[in-house]
Amino acid sequence: MIRSTALLLLFAASATAQQNTDPPEKKEYAALIKNLDSADRDTRLDAINAIAELGPLVPKAVPALVGIVQEKDEELRLNAALALGKIGKEAVGPVGKLLAGTDVDNRYYALSTLGWIGPEAKATAPQVLQALGDKNDGVRAKAALVLGRIGADPKIAIKPLLKMLADKNEAVRGAAGDALGRFKASAAPALGEALKDDSIPMRLEAAMALGQIGPEAKAAIPALKFAALDRENDVAAESIRALVKIKDAALPAMREILADGDAKLRQRALAGLVVSGKESAPFLADALSSKLVDVRQEASQAIVSLNLKEESVIPALIQAMRDSDKDVRKHSMQALFRVAVGAREAIPNLLANLKDKDADMRLLALNVIREIPVESAAIVKAVTPLLRDADERVQKVAKEVLAFQGKQ
């Protein structure tokens, strides 16, 4: 009995000592939580922001923060929602309960919080899905975004989100498209079907979502090929951009689009490639081998206007210098001028253009040759006759080329 009493006393003393040596930060956490109920607004705001920095270290702050989220002070409730998002999974249950409430602002802030928490809030997906039917546009838009950010099960989320692509509110449609884009390959087939819908907004958002998915959207290439010829310009343009984002797998489809019998549709497709910028380089390079001269002309001009220097365009440009169309040859040499240092393989075709009847073409070919750091007997042989060219500009550049070759 005496021994047992001694052990109890020893345990009590040890516990007291432990309390007295608690890390100071724990006491600070308790003080911060207490300050959440302060009568002074600035003190409360400072406490909220400090807790946000600590995140999951202060789960005991959740009840007070959930209470603040339901207040009318917008700055306090926004920062409280952010703090709950930083705390993470410990906040999921209490925040999720707000989705069933009657106050629209509470539902909105609850959804915002769940979105910031991310995948740890995946269990709330059924509640978030219900919020897609909310009467408030902002709540519906936020619910759509959150489904993508918490990583909801595609089997339950994709179909409802597709319906939202035709919502009367633009922000809701955009949010649904963003969410579907986050589901990657899982959403591609359904988005491909949406491209055939009668609703223009749905087709537009579906194309944008597929572009967001990128290479994993290969399953939707046939639908995008069809939509790229859509009479609605915006839908067609977004479909072209999506194909560009899918990259190499979409090259055959783009080739078919640019072979369409309607010249206006072909031009529109090429304009879509230009808008896509440098990512369109492989597609424009491929278009240089089209059987249609207008496609080759537009593609070569686009490569110049976009100032493309990607390696993928150089072989196509070298071949295009042999094109039967003067404009294609001209644009190809203009484009090669910018990458001439790496275009040694272009020399034979450049030399062929030195025989062109147009002095501007001869001059352009010489200017490109001048930029290629190669000494060659073939260059000397082809350039020497141009010292007597009828155009003085050609004579001058010919001298400069031969000077580099050590022949002047």
pLDDT at 408: 62
Which phi and psi angles does 105 have, rounded to 5°?
Answer: -65, -35
Alpha-carbon gap, residue 395 to 125, rounded angstroms: 75
Please report the pLDDT score of residue 369 as a whole number: 94
User: How much is the pLDDT for 241?
Assistant: 96
Least reliable range by pLDDT among 13-17, 238-242, 365-369: 13-17
- The pLDDT tens digits of the residues spanning 170-198 come to 999 999 999 999 999 999 999 999 999 99
Q: Which range is least confidently modeled, 68-72, 124-128, 216-220, 373-377?
A: 373-377
pLDDT at residue 9, rounded to an integer: 39
Tell me the C-alpha distance between 117 and 303, whole Å: 44
pLDDT tens-digit profile of 110-123? 999 999 999 999 99
Residue type at 15?
A
- Residue 91 structure tokens: 């906040």
Residue 406 — pLDDT band, cuts 50, 70, 90? confident
Give residue 34's pLDDT band: very low, low, confident or very high (50, 70, 90).
very high
Residue 207 · residue 224 · CB < 8 Å: yes
Give per-residue pLDDT as tens, 225-242. Answer: 999 988 889 999 999 999
DSSP state, 135?
Answer: S
pLDDT in tens, 250-283: 999 999 999 999 999 999 999 999 999 999 999 9
What's residue 341's pLDDT? 67
pLDDT of residue 18: 47
| pLDDT at residue number 309 | 87
Concatenate the DSSP letters of all residues of 290-318 into one string. Answer: -S-HHHHHHHHHHHHHTT---GGGHHHHH
pLDDT at 176: 97
Superfamily of structural domain 26-152? Leucine-rich Repeat Variant (1.25.10.10)
**For residues 405 and 373, what is the distance between their CA atoms, to the nearest angstrom?**
9
* Whether the predicted pLDDT of 20 surpasses 90: no
Global pTM reads: 0.82
- Give one word for 356, left, alpha or beta, with left for phi > 0 and alpha for psi -120 to 50: beta
Buried/exposed 282-304: b ≥16 CB within 10 Å, e otherwise: bbbbbbbebeeeebbbbbbbbbb
Domain boundaries, the chain: 26-152
